[in-house]
Chains A and B, each alone.
Chain A
Amino acid sequence: NAGVMQNPRHLVRRRGQEARLRCSPVKGHSHVYWYRQLPEEGLKFMVYLQKENIIDESGMPKERFSAEFPKEGPSILRIQQVVRGDSAAYFCASSPTVGMDTQYFGPGTRLTVL
């Protein structure tokens, strides 16, 4: 029974390139969350998605960042025109329902912007 899977695990981009981070939730989970962990900081919520819908994107930077969770396939966090400050670990989590339910976290994608 596979848990949350994220790929790639490590991603290196040059300034100005695009980064695409993928998250496959636990089978049967329809709620996906993205978090960012900056160096020396705690996790910060970015966006919460349910299949084909963005429910809460209050933690997403207003520009360059977008997320989707299509009917088929993984959730994608997309960062356009990356800058050095985007270097961080990005974690995805999934849960089966909304409410006070446990979120299961993926291993994270470590993005390095050169």
Chain B
Amino acid sequence: QQQVKQSPQSLIVQKGGISIINCAYENTAFDYFPWYQQFPGKGPALLIAIRPDVSEKKEGRFTISFNKSAKQFSLHIMDSQPGDSATYFCAATQSGFQKLVFGTGTRLLVSP
């Protein structure tokens, strides 16, 4: 019940296209869902996060869509750029509990 399932494992998108990464969770106590971007040899960087009281959050080219009833959330990267090529992790946690449960990661390659 603590798992967060992430798909796809890898993704190749052409420059300018839309990258979509999906995550699903089981624990209905989760109430904070961040996305992290990680480049090789670096630590993860917080990209965008959402709480279940909203269905969508947009920051620049990055959008999180959240479906509470389906217990799913997704990251959309609009106008994908080669510089977006990285590994993306979704995560979930309970506020106050602080421990993050990570998805398995998606390796995104944006071809020029």
Is chain B a partner of chain A in the same complex? no
Residues of B within 8 A of A (CB): none
Residues of A within 8 A of B (CB): none
